[in-house]
Amino acid sequence: MNDVTAVKALKNGNTTAFQHLFNKYYKHLVAFLMTYNHDKMQAEDIAQQAFIKLWEEKHRLDEDCSPKNYLFTIAYYHYIDTVKKESRRNKLLFELWQQSLDDQAPENSKVEEERLQLLRTVIDSLPSKCKTIFQMNKVQGVKYKDIATTLGISVKTVESQMRIAFRKIRDTINTELHI
């Protein structure tokens, strides 16, 4: 079954056509998404969401459109939305963490010191490149673009390393504080 035939059949609710497109493009879509985020579970989730969207919007498909382009476009924009949400969540978590440290009463200085030590330990345990990038951004206030230029890497690499740092910090804090 070629793509044109599959799209025509899909528009009529043919699940075999949908299965054909899924089998043909799913692995390619996951591989494409992995080039952006290197997180297989997230890539698989986004790819599945793209196919769900394809099924939900099947009646709106142009019979001459490429289902591959449609799926890859949906997946890319879903990935961008996911990154933005994750970035906002990480920023909020970090701000809440900072605020909780700032709001501690003097009598809780031992608890505050333990939390700071936990944060320092997590940051120190980050891979070297990740730690450097995190410290340049959060401690020195250097922007992603400037970090990329200074270290001779791409902005995408800086973003990826910051995601890794925030994920590790978040996971450790959640585990240690039983959140």
Residue 35 lies inside a defined structural domain of this protein: yes
Together in a domain, 131 and 67: no
Together in a domain, 35 and 69: yes
pLDDT attached to residue 101: 63
Retrieve residue 70's tokens. 């449609």
Residue 99 lies inside a defined structural domain of this protein: no
pLDDT attached to residue 16: 93
CATH number of the domain at 56, please.
1.10.1740.10
Q: Is the model's pLDDT at 3 over the cut of 90?
A: no
Together in a domain, 121 and 78: no
Residue 159 lies inside a defined structural domain of this protein: yes
Q: Are 78 and 51 in contact (CB under 8 A)?
A: no
Minimum mean pLDDT among 23-32, 79-88, 142-151: which range?
79-88
C-alpha to C-alpha distance for 126 and 79, rounded to whole angstroms: 25
Number of residues written out for the chain: 179
DSSP 59: G
Global pTM exceeds 0.75: no
Residue 88 lies inside a defined structural domain of this protein: no
pLDDT attached to residue 62: 83
Residue 135 lies inside a defined structural domain of this protein: yes
Q: At what angle do helices 155-176 and 15-37 cross, to 10 degrees?
A: 90
Q: Are 75 and 47 in contact (CB under 8 A)?
A: yes
Q: Are 158 and 148 in contact (CB under 8 A)?
A: yes
Residue 61 lies inside a defined structural domain of this protein: yes
Together in a domain, 71 and 119: no
Retrieve residue 144's tokens. 């992603």
Together in a domain, 77 and 9: yes
Contacts of 179 (CB under 8 A, 6+ apart): 173
Together in a domain, 124 and 78: no
- Look up tokens 């450790």; give the residue: 172
C-alpha to C-alpha distance for 124 and 157, rounded to whole angstroms: 20
Together in a domain, 8 and 66: yes
pLDDT attached to residue 115: 78
* Of residues 95 and 164, more confidently modeled: 164
Residue 97 lies inside a defined structural domain of this protein: no
Residue 87 lies inside a defined structural domain of this protein: no
Tally of structural domains, the chain: 2
Together in a domain, 10 and 56: yes
Euclidean distance between the first and final Cα of the chain, in Å? 50
For the stretch 15-40, pLDDT in tens is 999 999 999 999 999 999 999 888 89
CATH number of the domain at 161, please.
1.10.10.10
| Single-letter residue type at 5 | T
Together in a domain, 9 and 68: yes
- Look up tokens 């700032």; give the residue: 102
pLDDT attached to residue 29: 95
Q: Which domain holds residue 127?
A: 104-176
Query: What's the rounded mean pLDDT across residues 134-149?
Result: 90
Together in a domain, 75 and 109: no
Mean pLDDT of the chain: 86
Query: What's the rounded mean pLDDT across residues 144-173?
Result: 91
Q: What SS3 class is residue 23? A: helix
Together in a domain, 77 and 109: no
